[in-house]
Structures are given as C-alpha cells and as structure tokens.
C-alpha cells in the first residue's frame, strides 16, 4: 500500500477500500522499519492514530472534508503546530511549544489531513545536507551512507523511503528542491507570496516559501491547492494566491499542447567541472525529450549566474541575523542561568546555536554593519533586482526554463560538512529561483550508476503554477523513477 501516491490513497479512502487508520498504521510501521534513517524529530503515534480515527469517523458519516482527509502529511519541524514541539532542530528550541498554529497547519487540519511526524532539518533551515541538525543525521534512503540533501532532508527522506506519502518543506534557497532531487521525489517551491509563512520560523523572510514534497506531480498540486491562499497575517502574502488558485487535479499536456512550447535550457556551467556525468546525461535526456515533443528549445545564458551565490549569502545571512535576534534567552527557548543580563544573552546564544547558525549570524551582522552596508547589503539588493528582471526578460519569450536541480547526486555524509563554501556551491542551481520569486519544481530524471536519483528542475513565470504542474506531469510520465529497490528495503 505504501508505494501508492496520495491521490490514489485519497480515492481508496473515498471508496472505503481501506481506512485512514489502516493507511496511517502502514506508514508508521514503515517509518519504524526505517528508523535508522533518522527522519523524524517526533513521531507521536497515539496523537497521529487519533487523528486518523477521527478522519475515519467523518468518512463513515459521509462528511469527508477534502481529498486529503485521512491522508498523512509529515511536517518540517520549523512549522508551528500547537500540538507538537517546534524545534527547528536547534538546541535553542529543543523544548519549545508554539502557542499558535501556522496557517498551513490550520488549513491542513481543517482539510482533515492527518498531521504526521515532525521531520528533521538543518538547524533553522540553514544547510544543504541536514547535517547541521543539532539532534540527528538523516540518511538517504537510496544509500544510507549519503545525505538526503537539505535543509528539508527529513521530509525528503520520509517521502523517499515511503515512510510518509506527503510532506511539507520550506525553501529559502533550494531546501525543498535539492533534497527532493537527492531522494528521488517531487519537490515544489511556489511563487513567493502564494503560501502564507505565518507560523513558519523565519530564516530569510524575503525568500522563504513553504511547499509540497511528494511522490508525484499530481500529489504536489493537490497538497499545494490546500495550503495556498491569501493570508492577512503574512504581509507578503499575495492577492494572486486567491485569484489564481492551483487546480487540485493536474491535466498533463497532451502531445498537441507540448508542440511549440518554448523551453529555455539553462545549463551554462554544465560544460565545466563540478557536474556529475549522470547530471549531464539527464540534461541530454531532457533536451532530447523536449525536441521529440516538438518543443521550441533554446539555450539561454544568465549573465548573473556567477553572482547568485554571493547575492544569496549576503541577503540570506543579513535577514537571518535580524530574524534570529529574537532568540535572546528571554522570550523563547533556552535560557542560560546567569547573574546579569549581558551574560544571559551571550551565554544563551553561545550554548543554544550550532556552528553554522553562528557563522551566518556573524556574516549577516557584518554585511549590515554601518560602513559595510552599502558595499554589501545594498549592492546585493540591487543585484537581486537584476536577477528578477532577468527572469521577467527570459519569460517574455519562454514558457519554461529547465536545468538540473543540483550539480551532483547525493554526496557522502561528512564529505562537505567541514567545508562551508563547497556546501554553498551545491545551491548553485536553485537559489536564483528564490531571488527571482518564481515557482520551480524538481522531479526525478533517472539514476546514476550508483543507483542514486538525479533531479531536473523546471521553472515557470510568477503564479504559473498550473502550467508548471501540467508540463511537469507530461515529463514525469516518460521518466518514472523505479522505486522497486526501496519498497522492500528496510534500514
């Protein structure tokens, strides 16, 4: 049962072929069989089964609340749920309980979804491998010696190992798409402003978005359709989120629709070093496929390509240093017992934050300091506008842009942990999407010779989620990932 998609579960629940309790139990058993993958910070079986039971009661009475009523959804542990701890995988918030629910949690609860385990992440979502978690190292279901990607590594491994049918992640610079590509699943970052971030613990507010992680494109659209929408509690929430709602059912483009679609290929660095052979092969496969469908394929080049990592790491760290100043030992989480206020601040932060978080706070404070503000932060803001303008320019002539999600497949645990610059490089393909605010989706495109999945990223214009899903669904139908090795494997 666990290798079926959420959409299939939804239909079976509707028809009474199995109950939400049977379904949820099957996933919990699977999660327990895969416990050495260390995907969850919390998996409260009795609360979860209770939610499934309530769902079954509704379904029995014919009061099903939504297509996801009764379907488990794992939640990244930086999204506030009153009924659970919200730890952000940080010692600072180890025992923190939010007094309120995130908007996405409210929405899922009122849709009857079974709020499932809380998934591990890089501390405060800062990282690309989930190794920066203060609690545990999540492992890749395709090879437990490798990372699942990050920062939504727990969510990606949970869906990829078939321990949950769906999950929420958050994406500031690639944290949904890159782990999705490493774990062989679909990960989608919506247009900035499409999904409310109320109740998402802020990392870099001008970039953060919550999005769906799933086994199929169709499931991705279904989950997005239930969490999106204008929210007055998030000032960056966009009216278009309501005006152009995502269709919950995806109609893949037919051969006729695909003919003449204008697709830009952005593989500029792909010719140079640092890209795995398997990733280059996926690019060729993608290109051949597009041409076979009669799409109009053009190679495009970004003039700003080499600047996106510095732009991102200036803006994201600046915003993080400001957002994380609220963790002062007084209001939230950890408090060091000290006799004076200054020591309390310093010791609480010294003890509570891990090394990567400290590095970012230092970097961010530096780029915001007077004297450096213009040289770094202001310049980065201007350059960011140029990235956005470049997307607008590209999309004057194009329907979609395709590129690999990551230069490599999943790397070994420990391989990049000591080298932050190498780690930051792995975001090369994903962060410009956040800088531009456009929607993008990563979907599986074959495997390398070690049996590790490769991911391809498709980007669409602002608020064109529907066409993105339709296009991705057509690609997906010809590149289904073989998961037979995963279903029978335990960890």
**Shortest Å distance, C-beta 77 to ligand GLN:** 13
Closest residue to ligand GLN, based on beta-carbon distance:
175
The residues in 278-337 that bind ligand GLN, with binding defined as CB under 6 A, are: 316
Q: Please say which residue, 174 or 352, places its beta carbon nearer to ligand GLN.
A: 174
Q: Please say which residue, 119 or 175, places its beta carbon nearer to ligand GLN.
A: 175
Q: Which stretch binds ligand GLN (CB under 6 A): 28-36, 124-132, 154-162, 450-458?
A: 124-132
**Shortest Å distance, C-beta 308 to ligand GLN:** 12
**Shortest Å distance, C-beta 207 to ligand GLN:** 8
> How do 400-404 and 262-265 pair as beta strands?
parallel
Q: Please say which residue, 180 or 398, places its beta carbon nearer to ligand GLN.
A: 180
Task: By CB under 6 A, name the one of 28, 43, 111, 125 that touches ligand GLN.
Answer: 125
Respond yes or no: is residue 107 known to be catalytic. no
In this structure, are residues 308 and 435 in contact, taking their beta carbons and an 8 Å threshold?
yes
Q: Please say which residue, 90 or 175, places its beta carbon nearer to ligand GLN.
A: 175
Q: 């190679």: which residue's tokens?
A: 299
Q: Which stretch binds ligand GLN (CB under 6 A): 40-48, 123-131, 299-307, 441-449?
A: 123-131
In whole angstroms, give the CA distance from residue 380 to residue 314: 7
Q: Which stretch binds ligand GLN (CB under 6 A): 119-127, 230-238, 385-393, 399-407?
A: 119-127
Site for ligand GLN contains 446 (CB under 6 A): no
How many other CB atoms are found less than 10 A from the CB of residue 303? 10
Q: Please say which residue, 182 or 471, places its beta carbon nearer to ligand GLN.
A: 182
Residue 313: in which H helix or E strand, if any? helix 308-323
**Shortest Å distance, C-beta 231 to ligand GLN:** 20
In whole angstroms, give the CA distance from residue 127 to residue 179: 11
In whole angstroms, give the CA distance from residue 320 to residue 302: 27
Size of residue set near ligand GLN by CB under 6 A:
13
Determine phi and psi for 453, rounding to 5 degrees: -70, 150
**Shortest Å distance, C-beta 175 to ligand GLN:** 3
**Shortest Å distance, C-beta 187 to ligand GLN:** 11
Q: Please say which residue, 125 or 290, places its beta carbon nearer to ligand GLN.
A: 125
* Total residues belonging to the chain: 491
In whole angstroms, give the CA distance from residue 246 to residue 269: 33
Catalytically annotated residue among 89, 151, 216, 474: 151
Task: By CB under 6 A, name the one of 67, 112, 117, 127 that touches ligand GLN.
Answer: 127
Q: Please say which residue, 106 or 427, places its beta carbon nearer to ligand GLN.
A: 427
In this structure, are residues 72 and 53 in contact, taking their beta carbons and an 8 Å threshold?
no
The residues in 140-199 that bind ligand GLN, with binding defined as CB under 6 A, are: 151, 171-175
In whole angstroms, give the CA distance from residue 64 to residue 60: 8
In whole angstroms, give the CA distance from residue 135 to residue 39: 11
Respond yes or no: is residue 348 known to be catalytic. no
**Shortest Å distance, C-beta 316 to ligand GLN:** 5
Q: Please say which residue, 125 or 417, places its beta carbon nearer to ligand GLN.
A: 125
Determine phi and psi for 278, rounding to 5 degrees: -65, -35
C-alpha closest to that of 483 among 122, 45, 30:
30
3-state secondary structure of 204: coil
In this structure, are residues 79 and 199 in contact, taking their beta carbons and an 8 Å threshold?
yes
The residues in 193-232 that bind ligand GLN, with binding defined as CB under 6 A, are: 203
Catalytically annotated residue among 76, 189, 194, 416: 76
Q: Please say which residue, 172 or 293, places its beta carbon nearer to ligand GLN.
A: 172
Residue 401: in which H helix or E strand, if any? strand 400-404
- For the record, the structure tokens of 284 come out as 């060729």
In whole angstroms, give the CA distance from residue 122 to residue 462: 28
**Shortest Å distance, C-beta 265 to ligand GLN:** 24
Respond yes or no: is residue 76 known to be catalytic. yes
Task: By CB under 6 A, name the one of 234, 427, 464, 465 that touches ligand GLN.
Answer: 427
In whole angstroms, give the CA distance from residue 35 to residue 54: 26
**Shortest Å distance, C-beta 174 to ligand GLN:** 5
Q: Which residues of 277-291 are buried (b: 16+ CB within 10 A; e: fewer)?
A: ebbbebbebbbebbe
- The DSSP output letter for 271 is G
Task: By CB under 6 A, name the one of 74, 79, 126, 188 that touches ligand GLN.
Answer: 126
In whole angstroms, give the CA distance from residue 321 to residue 73: 31
The residues in 451-480 that bind ligand GLN, with binding defined as CB under 6 A, are: none
How many other CB atoms are found less than 10 A from the CB of residue 292? 11
Catalytically annotated residue among 98, 175, 196, 237: 175
- Show which residues are catalytic: 76, 151, 175
The footprint of ligand GLN (CB under 6 A) covers 125-128, 151, 171-175, 203, 316, 427
């Amino acid at each position: 049962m666990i290798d079926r998609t959420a959409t299939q579960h939804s239909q079976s629940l509707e028809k009474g072929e199995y109950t939400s309790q049977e379904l949820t139990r099957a996933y919990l058993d699977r999660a327990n069989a895969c416990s050495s993958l260390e995907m969850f910070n919390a998996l409260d079986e009795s609360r979860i089964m209770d939610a499934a039971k309530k769902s079954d009661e509704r379904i029995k009475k014919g009061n099903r609340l939504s297509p996801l009523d009764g379907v488990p959804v794992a939640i990244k542990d930086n999204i506030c749920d009153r009924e659970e701890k919200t730890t952000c995988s940080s010692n600072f918030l180890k025992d923190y309980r939010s007094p309120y629910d995130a908007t996405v949690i409210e929405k899922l609860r009122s849709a009857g979804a079974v709020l499932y385990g809380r998934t591990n992440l890089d501390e405060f979502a800062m990282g690309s491998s989930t190794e920066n978690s203060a609690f545990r190292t999540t492992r890749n279901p395709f090879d437990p010696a490798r990372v699942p990607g990050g920062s939504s590594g727990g969510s990606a491994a949970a869906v990829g190992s078939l321990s949950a049918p769906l999950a929420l992640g958050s994406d500031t610079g690639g944290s949904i798409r890159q782990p999705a590509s490493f774990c062989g699943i679909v990960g989608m970052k919506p247009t900035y402003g499409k999904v409310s971030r109320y109740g998402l613990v802020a990392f870099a507010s001008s970039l953060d978005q919550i999005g769906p992680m799933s086994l199929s494109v169709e499931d991705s659209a279904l989950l997005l359709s239930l969490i999106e929408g204008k929210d007055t509690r998030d000032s960056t929430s966009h009216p278009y989120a309501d005006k152009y709602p995502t269709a919950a059912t995806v109609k893949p483009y037919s051969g006729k629709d695909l003919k003449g679609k204008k697709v830009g290929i952005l593989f500029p660095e792909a010719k140079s070093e640092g890209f795995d052979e398997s990733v280059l092969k996926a690019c060729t496969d993608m290109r051949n496929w597009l041409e076979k469908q009669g799409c109009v394929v053009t190679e495009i080049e970004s003039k700003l390509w080499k600047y996106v990592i510095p732009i991102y790491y200036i803006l994201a760290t600046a915003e993080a240093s400001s957002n994380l100043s609220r963790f002062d030992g007084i209001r939230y989480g950890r408090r060091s017992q000290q006799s004076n206020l200054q020591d309390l601040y310093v010791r609480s932060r010294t003890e509570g934050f891990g090394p990567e978080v400290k590095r970012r706070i230092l970097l961010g404070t530096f780029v915001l300091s007077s004297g450096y503000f213009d040289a770094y932060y202001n310049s980065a803001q201007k350059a960011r506008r140029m990235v956005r303008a470049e997307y607008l320019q590209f999309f004057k002539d194009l329907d979609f842009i395709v590129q690999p999600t990551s230069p490599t497949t999943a790397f070994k645990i420990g391989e990049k942990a000591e080298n932050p610059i190498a780690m930051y490089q792995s975001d090369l393909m994903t962060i410009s999407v956040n800088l531009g605010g456009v929607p993008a989706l990563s979907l599986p495109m074959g495997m390398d010779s070690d049996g590790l999945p490769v991911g391809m990223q498709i980007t669409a214009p602002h608020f064109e989620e529907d066409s993105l899903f339709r296009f991705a669904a057509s690609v997906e139908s010809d590149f289904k990932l073989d998961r037979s090795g995963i279903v029978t494997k335990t960890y």
